[in-house]
Structure 1
Amino acid sequence: MNLASIALLSVAMSTDAFAAAVSKGAALDKPHWREALRTGAIFGSIEAATPVIGWLLGAAASDYVRVWDHWIAFTLLGVLGAKMIWEGLKHDDDREPPVSRHGFLTLALTGLATSIDAMAVGVGLAFLDESIGPIALSIGFTTFVAVTLGVMLGRALGSAIGKRAEVLGGLLLIGIGSAILYEHLTVLPA
């Protein structure tokens, strides 16, 4: 993967966490930078770890599916992208009363739920024999920044922007999957 693809993948992986962070920020009485940084660190750490776990699982199976790797990556990214778009377009009227701080377990579970797609991406990257370290670090750092900003923006902007970000992330995932498929289908045999 080139730097542009890694950057786009990192942004796509962080958008669902950003959307969750906006809603978490909107639920806070008065979000402070301390709480935003804490939330960003929790989400970013989880988002960096899950593609590594997925990559390890995918690497164990990669010899068996190397012929189909580009189709698997295309399908996984396409399905995840479509799911993100679907979630971004759903209406969410369940508002909780404002709180001063979210509990660690609540944030960790939310972070894990928003990082399942990153685990699936890790599986796909193992099939493509990509080095996961720099990609996982990029995803984790991008998520940390996005979530920190999302919490601070949440109170002011509400959940509308979070949903739009999730739709954009889904479109980016579908685009990356399509580019992977195109790249592998257009390579001329040696």
Structure 2
Amino acid sequence: MELSLPQWGQLFTLLMIAVALGTDAFSLGIGIGMRGVLVREALKISGMIGFFHVMLPLLGITVGRYLGSLVENIAVITGGGLLCFLGLNMIYQAFRSGKEVRVFHTATPLGIVVFSLGVSLDSLSAGLSLGLFEADAILAVLLFGTVGGLMACTGLLLGRNVGSWIGDYGEAVGGIILISLGLRFLL
């Protein structure tokens, strides 16, 4: 089966969008990985990110024609605010004394879902945009999910190794990364 020139163009475009969406997952994965994650946790987190990178664009494609730019702006603002909150919490946890219960921790199921959803909210915006065009929805969401999950896992494992070099302040560095990416969405 040979692809036509427009099909190659669509495949290339969707792959570039998938990589662009995955860079946030990669960067945030490094930040979370610096805090120290087990390989099992990295696989759970990246799997959940891949899941949300499939479901949110699919939802976005479905409702894109109806809600357009209004939801795109809400998703970006919500995602940015969530990332800033998670980053501030990580910095707080890095410098706190004693062993209190964490508000956010990627080792808990709720923490994995909150983190993965925050990382994946920009894929909702991409889905909304694709909903306005005649893009192949199945190909798009499969690429988004696969690339997002793989880039998140790579970032988590890389951050895990870099975090051991940084020491106790790895979580604070990860928090700063989360805040800077969150501010990028907000500004």
Q: Specify if TM > 0.5.
A: yes
Residue pair 2:106, 2:115 contacting (<8 A) in 1 also: no
Aligned to 1:26: 34
Unaligned regions of 5+ residues in structure 2, if any?
1-8, 95-101, 164-172
1:37 maps onto 2:43 in alignment: yes
How many corresponding residue pairs?
145
| Corresponding residue to 1:123 among 119, 128, 131 | 128
- Over the matched positions of the two proteins, sequence identity in percent amounts to 20
Q: State whether residues 25 and 150 of structure 1, in contact with CA within 8 Å, keep that contact through their aligned partners in structure 2.
A: yes
1:94 is aligned to 91
Q: In the alignment, what sits opposite 1:5?
A: 13
Question: What is the CA–CA distance in structure 2 between the aligned matches of 1:147 and 1:113, rounded to whole Å?
Answer: 13
Query: Which residue of 16, 30, 43 corresponds with 2:24?
Result: 16
- Where do 5+ consecutive residues of structure 1 fail to align? 66-71, 171-190
- Kept in 1: contact 2:106–2:112 (CA 8 A): no
Give the match's secondary structure for 2:151.
helix
- The alpha carbon displacement at 1:19 in A equals 2.0
Provide the C-alpha distance between the structure 2 equivalents of 1:143 and 1:123, rounded to a whole number of angstroms.
Answer: 17
For 2:141 and 2:106, the matched residues in 1 are separated by 28
Question: Residue 69 of structure 1 corresponds to which residue in structure 2?
Answer: none
Maintained 8 Å contact 2:54/2:142: yes
Contact 1:20–1:110 (CA under 8 A) maintained in structure 2: no
Q: Which residue of 2 aligns with 1:156?
A: 161
Distance in 1 separating the partners of 2:92 and 2:34: 9
Which of 110, 135, 139 in structure 2 is aligned with 1:134? 139
Map Cα deviations across residues 143-162 of structure 1 (whole Å, 9 max, x no partner).
111111111111233557x9
Q: Which amino acid aligns with 2:26?
A: F
Deviation at 1:95, TM superposition (A): 5.8
**2:64 maps to which of 58, 65, 87:** 58
Aligned Cα root-mean-square deviation (Å): 3.6
The change in CA–CA distance for 1:134 and 1:13 in structure 2 (over 3 A counts) is: same
TM-score normalized with structure 1 length: 0.62
Distance 1:38 1:114 in 2: 14
* 1:42-64 Cα shifts (integer Å, max 9, x gaps): 111111110000111114x28xx
